[in-house]
Amino acid sequence: MMSFLKSLVHRIAPVLFSMCLTLGVIASASPALANTVSVEMGQGGMLAYSPAEVTISPGDTVHFDVGLAGPHNVVFDSANSAGEASSLSHNALEMSGGFDVSFPADATAGEYAYYCEPHRGAGMVGKIVVQ
């Protein structure tokens, strides 16, 4: 009887160890966390985005904070993709507050140029680099 129990323990122990190890790895693995990057619009009365260029990862969000010299919006150039530009753009003109532009987790890496529609001629342009 004792040899049977020893044999059983020797057979089950590696399986239990593997299960515990697998559960530990699964429990400790965390999904990639999306980040939020802030861009200020019209701060100090300037017709500019600050910073003018930010770098993000797919799945991240860019928060645009409306400052002075409004109204402001964010319109993406259709140079990358007309559909993508349309879905990312915040066409509504805002006088205060802020809004978020979230990039999908499968966003194509590259440069995304954008501008403020009423102030584009004054040089209010920016760029988001997705890496």
**Cα 114 → chain centroid:** 16
Q: Is 1 annotated as a binding residue?
A: no
Q: Is residue 63 flagged as an active site residue?
A: no
Q: Is 20 annotated as a binding residue?
A: no
Q: Give residues with Cβ within 8 angstroms of 65, minimum separation 6.
A: 38, 39, 40, 41, 98
Q: Is 90 annotated as a binding residue?
A: no
Q: Is residue 20 flagged as an active site residue?
A: no
Question: Which of 1, 20, 46, 124 does the annotation list as catalytic?
Answer: 124
Instruction: Answer yes or no: are the C-beta atoms of 39 and 112 closer than 8 Å.
Output: no
What is the Cα–Cα distance from 126 to 116, expressed in whole angstroms?
A: 9
What is the Cα–Cα distance from 130 to 55, expressed in whole angstroms?
A: 6
Question: Which of 10, 41, 63, 72 does the annotation list as catalytic?
Answer: 72
Q: Is 10 annotated as a binding residue?
A: no
Q: Which residues are annotated as a binding site for Cu cation?
A: 72, 116, 119, 124
Catalytic residues: 72, 116, 119, 124
Q: Which residues are annotated as a binding site?
A: 72, 116, 119, 124
